[in-house]
Amino acid sequence: LIGLDCNMGFISFDATVGSNHRAVGHDLPPGQDLAEELLRRVEALGYSIVERVTQHEGYGWSFTVKTDDSQPIWCMLQLSDEWLLITHRHLPLLRKLFGAPALSAGHAKFDSALVGLLASLPFVSNVRWFRTHDDLRHGRTGQP
């Protein structure tokens, strides 16, 4: 798994909205309204939108914003046992394998802003950030 998640951040949280927002008669994953609400608030923080909310495969909703260092960050929201927002900055494979053990400063700042944003929302609780897949699986929280 070397390098696989070096350019990702993982934010889990509980929310009292979103999980019932399914379009009647369609097999859409939950979370579209929640993703759009998050994107609106991210935009209000000053981040520019690269791509608005679109469905990601059969299980999530994604959007892309540009961070302070002009790097696009792809965000994908999905509902498992709790809500999970993955932030992902694309890196070339060689950079992932050999040169990027940590999040970029812009990515870390963006994740930190997201954690703060989510924690401030009245319908969101239990916001936690994880550095890697394994940290997420084992509940080892961190700070961006």
Judged by CB under 8 A, does residue 80 bind another protein?
yes
Sheet of 60-66, strands arranged across: 48-56, 60-66, 72-79, 83-89, 8-15, 124-130
Helix (H, G, I), strand (E, B) or coil at 9: strand
Write the DSSP symbol of residue 141: -
Q: Please report whether residue 79 would count as binding another protein according to CB under 8 A.
A: yes
Q: Does 86 bind another protein (CB under 8 A)?
A: yes
* Choices 34-42, 47-55, 83-91, 116-124 (CB under 8 A): range interacting with another protein: 83-91
Least CB distance to another protein at residue 34 (A): 15
Which among 33-41, 85-93, 112-120, 121-129 is the span making contact with another protein, rule CB under 8 A?
85-93
By beta-carbon proximity to another protein, the closer residue of 11 and 68 is 11
5 binds another protein (CB under 8 A): yes
Contacts of 79 (CB under 8 A, 6+ apart): 18, 19, 29, 30, 31
Rounded distance between C-alpha atoms, residue 115 and residue 135, angstroms: 17
Q: Cα(28)–Cα(87) distance, rounded to whole angstroms?
A: 21
What's the rounded Cα separation, in Å, for the pair 140 and 133?
10
Q: For another protein, which is the closer residue by CB, 46 or 57?
A: 57
Asked whether position 77 contacts another protein by CB under 8 A, the answer is: no
Residue 97 touching another protein (CB under 8 A): no
- Residues in contact with another protein by CB under 8 A are 1, 4-5, 8, 27, 29, 57-60, 76, 78-81, 84, 86, 88, 93, 133, 136
